[in-house]
Amino acid sequence: MTRILKAGALLLVISVCVRAQRTENTPPLSIARQGYLFAGEKYSTVNDRQVMSGQIYAEYQIPVKRTKRWPVLMIHGLWQSGTNFTATADGREGWAVRAGG
């Protein structure tokens, strides 16, 4: 388990360093279209009210200039949430803001 944690920490440090190098000269991403969607939902009655459950919420951004055939799919995990993709705790732009770089 300790090896896995050390390997994960090393990969995190390397990815942060590579990202810092790439974003310095990367122009801002221009978005052609963005939005959100829900999928897989069902309605149930709870305390005489209709509530939605079993759904997944997803956001999308389509850049003006597409440089790759396939989209980037970001899934949060561990102790994080999807908000980490839009900004960081110290105020820097998150991955979703700079994904086009």
Kindly list the domain boundaries of the chain, sorted by start residue. Answer: 2-35+61-85
Helix runs in the chain, H state only = 2-24
In the chain (101 residues long), the average pLDDT of successive 10-residue segments reads 63 59 66 87 90 84 86 75 76 67 44
The whole-number pLDDT of residue 50 equals 92
Backbone angles phi, psi at 42, to 5 degrees: -145, 150
Task: Compute the radius of gyration of the chain from its Cα atoms.
Answer: 18
Assign 3-class secondary structure to 33-59.
EEEEEEECCEEEEECCEEEEECCEEEE
